[in-house]
Amino acid sequence: MRWLGERVTAGGGVVSYDELAQFSFEGRRIPLMDPQRGIRKPAHMTAALSIRTRFTAPGQVPPYEDTEGPDGLLRYKYRGLDPDRPEPDHPENVALRRAFEHGLPLIWLVAAAPGAYVPVYPIWIVGDEPRLLQFVVAFDAAQRLVPVGDVGDEAQRRYIERLTHQRLHQPVFRIRVLTAYSNQCAMCRLRYASLLDAAHILPDGHPRGVPIVPNGLSLCKIHHAAYDENLLGVRPDLVVEVRPDVRDQPDGPMLRHGLQEMAGIRLLKPRARAAQADPDRLEERYEAFRRAG
């Protein structure tokens, strides 16, 4: 995991399949993932080392979506020889069960693009639900303390879901959106990846505010904040509008060059049609901007 941290920093948040396949420890090559299996257990180990989520197209919801249990914790489905028929005693599931029994941390590798993975770690298996053919996953020490299956109160559930969003959904969504926009701000074309965010068109909590690329825009931090605060808006034809009171206010160079001069700019579009911003979402968000202004 320390090695992964170094690779994530060097790779801008992602690690390539080739890097994962060539990892070695104490002179022994130990690939961190198996391209054919969802659960990786090296032959000389007694428990699983990592789990994997395949790449999904930009407009599709990744398979880890909609799998929270009543307690708010995420579920990871059993594996089997037939994808449609999970097997509780399949060797991969047994390996993950061993990690659960021994309280061992694991790595979750989520494909952000073909051959490029966002590592999420450490994670823990905190429950086994054989009747539902799934394991229960925790993303930090606080989630590990949640009683599995306990509905709890609404505030607790929202807290648990927020942690999952921060650890799993946000980093994957960010990498996928920035990749679609060639790692530049769609508004001002800034190319410093560390200063870029994946902005939701429709926010979290909205019925269509899911973390998929067509619901995202690659924006630098100042334009992301301005977009969220309705200081500027984006029309469905991708043209930027600046709120009148912001446009007419006298101030220093940041306001003038950073916001006021964005009026009339047309947003950059991803080359892949499936990754381009959804016009219906843009229109709904633009109407919210007009009402705010």
Overall residue count recorded for the chain in this entry:
293
Please count the other Cβ atoms lying within 10 Å of the Cβ belonging to residue 207: 6
Residue range 49-60: average pLDDT?
84
pLDDT level of residue 154 (50, 70, 90 thresholds): confident
**In this predicted model, which residue has the larger pLDDT, 153 or 74?**
74
Q: Tell me the C-alpha distance between 72 and 91, whole Å.
A: 28
Give the least confident one: 27-31, 76-80, 201-205.
76-80
Dig out the tokens for 85 from the structure.
């028929």
Nearest to 52 by CA among 88, 15, 22: 15
Q: How many helices (H) and strands (E) does the chain have?
A: 10, 13
pLDDT digit string, tens, across residues 85-140: 778 899 999 999 999 999 999 999 999 888 899 999 999 999 999 998 899 999 98
Contact 260, 193 (CB under 8 A): no
Give the least confident one: 46-50, 68-72, 244-248, 264-268.
68-72
pLDDT level of residue 63 (50, 70, 90 thresholds): low
Q: Tell me the C-alpha distance between 77 and 136, whole Å.
A: 9
Domains of the chain with CATH codes? 2-173 (2.30.280), 188-292 (no CATH)
Asked if residue 249 has pLDDT above 60, the reply is: yes
The tally of CA atoms less than 13 A away on the side-chain side of residue 216 is 32
Residue range 37-51: average pLDDT?
92
Give the least confident one: 13-22, 30-39, 59-68, 190-199.
59-68
Average pLDDT, whole number, for the chain?
A: 89
Please count the other Cβ atoms lying within 10 Å of the Cβ belonging to residue 58: 21
DSSP 81-98: SBTTB--TTSHHHHHHHH
pLDDT of residue 42: 92
pLDDT of residue 175: 92
pLDDT of residue 81: 64
| Chain centroid to CA 279 | 22
Q: Tell me the C-alpha distance between 143 and 211, whole Å.
A: 22
Contacts of 88 (CB under 8 A, 6+ apart): 78, 130, 133
For residue 20, the 8-state DSSP code is: H
pLDDT of residue 148: 87
Instruction: Report the range out of 64-73, 74-83, 240-249 with the highest average pLDDT.
Output: 240-249
Residue range 165-180: average pLDDT?
89
Which pairs with CB-CB distance under 8 Å and at least 24 residues apart come from 58-62? 58/176, 58/180, 58/212, 58/213, 58/214, 58/270, 58/272, 58/274, 58/275, 59/212, 59/213, 59/214, 59/274, 59/275, 60/212, 61/210, 61/212, 62/110, 62/172, 62/211
pLDDT of residue 252: 76
Contacts of 61 (CB under 8 A, 6+ apart): 210, 212
pLDDT of residue 65: 46
pLDDT of residue 85: 74
pLDDT of residue 80: 75
Give the least confident one: 28-42, 57-71, 255-269.
57-71
